[in-house]
């Protein structure tokens, strides 16, 4: 099951290159959300980065963001 293994994805946050390791379904959902909002993936990642707690890694914050978006849609 390839999609279960995290893959590295490069991002640029406020001019600095970084990478996150995410499973394919989370990355695809994140890019879908960015497209729905009319944002570049880097812009949405920067938004998530700015709002995450200091003790939460960026990849985890993105997963939680995707989960929150999914739950919001169920309501």
Q: Which residues sit opposite 13 in a β-bridge? A: 16
Q: What is the pLDDT of residues 42-51, one digit of tens each?
A: 999 999 999 9
Confidence bin at 4 (pLDDT 50/70/90): confident
Which sequence spans correspond to the domains of the chain?
2-74
Instruction: Answer for the pair 46, 56: CB distance below 8 angstroms, yes or no.
Output: no
CB-CB contact of 62 with 30 (8 Å):
yes
Q: What is the pTM of this model?
A: 0.92
| CATH fold of 2-74 | Ribbon-helix-helix fold (1.10.3990)
Work out whether the CA dihedral 58, 63, 64, 65 comes out positive or negative. positive
- pLDDT digit string (tens) for 6-51? 999 999 999 999 999 999 999 999 999 999 999 999 999 999 999 9
């Amino acid at each position: 099951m390839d999609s279960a293994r995290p893959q590295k994805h490069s991002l640029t946050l406020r001019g600095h290159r970084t990478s996150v390791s995410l499973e394919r379904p989370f990355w695809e959902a994140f890019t879908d959300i960015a497209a729905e909002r009319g944002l570049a993936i880097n812009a949405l990642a920067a938004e998530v980065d700015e709002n995450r707690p200091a003790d939460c890694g960026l990849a985890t914050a993105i997963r939680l963001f995707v989960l929150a978006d999914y739950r919001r849609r169920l309501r």
